[in-house]
Amino acid sequence: MANKKKEGFTKEPNWFLEEIMKQNLSGVDRRLLDVIKRKTWGFRGAGKENGALISISTFEEMTGLDRRYVHRRLKALEDRGLINIDRSSYILAYSLQADTSQWKPLDKNTTVKALDKKTIPVGQEYNGSVGLKYTHKRKERKELKETGNGYSLEFENFWKEYPRKEGKATAYRKWNSRIKDGFPPEALIKAAELYSSQMQTEGRQRKHIKLASTFLGPDLHFKELLEHSEEIQREGDPYWYLGGNQ
């Protein structure tokens, strides 16, 4: 086993330690702050004052928290002025707010437990295990209607939006796999729209555009698009778009 004492470490400024001690934060909030510290102050010694590109999947993997809850808690930390989120790139960039005068204390009438309970997605029951993966009652979905050629109407809508029209039969098999995984048809269609727009903006040649079967494959390339879409976030509750059986 490697000697962990000889490996790299994260330098944490004293001013931050002294100020963060005064903040009423939940254990979940601190874990998310630790990820940002690790990816900025602790990344190969670089400060990365402008922020580090961190996907929601990275937060999920490093903390073991449910991605929908991660998204909500990061937004809450941003609202309190503790972190900055740069949305100018495809993957959001996160940094700690160095100006402590921008930090906002938790409302005196709100406890950390109440705050956590309030941020549990609608339809889920608070059981004290905040942020851990939990089960919830999914909305019943209507059966997919099929067209005369054997493809569902929803898939045809997806195919209409997708920017590369090759391998339709294979793509449909992947589509059905993602539907079985719990992803809403509307989410996959929206992802196709976002991807098409992105490819047009970048002027990407057809050969450099993913096949639909790859886009819908087990690596879930479409999911990052949905996670970071400001259009979806403006709709109020983007978490249903992320789907997937927990």
With a cut of 70, say whether residue 181 has pLDDT above it: yes
Its pTM stands at 0.49
Number of domains into which the chain is organized: 2
Over range 109-128, report the average pLDDT.
Answer: 47
Contact 193, 186 (CB under 8 A): no
Torsion of CA 38, 42, 43, 46, to 10 degrees: 130
Q: Residue 58: CB partners within 8 Å, gap ≥ 6? A: 35, 39
Bridge partners, residue 43, by sequence: 46
> Is residue 138 assigned to a domain?
no
> Is residue 193 assigned to a domain?
yes
> Is residue 160 assigned to a domain?
yes
Same domain, 106 and 202: no
**What pLDDT is stored for residue 64 in this prediction?**
86
> Is residue 28 assigned to a domain?
yes
> Is residue 77 assigned to a domain?
yes
> 31-35, 85-89, 106-110: which has the minimum mean pLDDT?
106-110
Same domain, 203 and 113: no
With a cut of 70, say whether residue 163 has pLDDT above it: yes
Measured CA to CA in angstroms, residue 139 lies from 6, 120, 142, 189 at distances of 51, 17, 10, 18
Same domain, 172 and 88: no
Backbone φ and ψ for 52, nearest 5 degrees, come out as -115, 140
**HSE-CB for 172 with a 13 A CA cutoff:** 17
Q: Residue 209: CB partners within 8 Å, gap ≥ 6? A: 163, 164, 199
Give the span between the Cα atoms of 16 and 83, in whole angstroms.
12
Over range 15-34, report the average pLDDT.
Answer: 88
Give the span between the Cα atoms of 176 and 93, in whole angstroms.
33
Give the span between the Cα atoms of 26 and 31, in whole angstroms.
9
Token pair of 74, please? 């990061």
Same domain, 92 and 182: no
Point out the domain boundary residue: 99, 118, 137: 118
Point out the domain boundary residue: 94, 118, 142: 118
Reported in sequence order, the residue ranges of 87-162 that DSSP labels E, i.e. its strands, are: 93-96
Task: Give me the CATH number covering residue 56.
Answer: 1.10.10.10
**What pLDDT is stored for residue 44 in this prediction?**
55
Give the span between the Cα atoms of 233 and 95, in whole angstroms.
20
Give the residue, 65 or 7, on which the prediction is more confident.
Answer: 65
Sign, Cα dihedral of 215, 70, 44, 102: positive
pLDDT in tens, 30-79: 999 999 998 888 765 444 556 888 888 888 888 888 877 788 888 889 99
**Mean pLDDT, all residues of the chain:** 75
Q: Which amino acid is at 21?
A: M
> Is residue 54 assigned to a domain?
yes
Domain holding 222, by residue range, is: 153-242
Same domain, 82 and 158: no
Which of 183, 186, 178, 181 lies closest to 212, judged by CA?
Answer: 178
The secondary structure of 188-199 as a DSSP string is HHHHHHHHHHHH
Task: Calculate ∠ Cα 138-140-142, nearest 5°.
Answer: 145
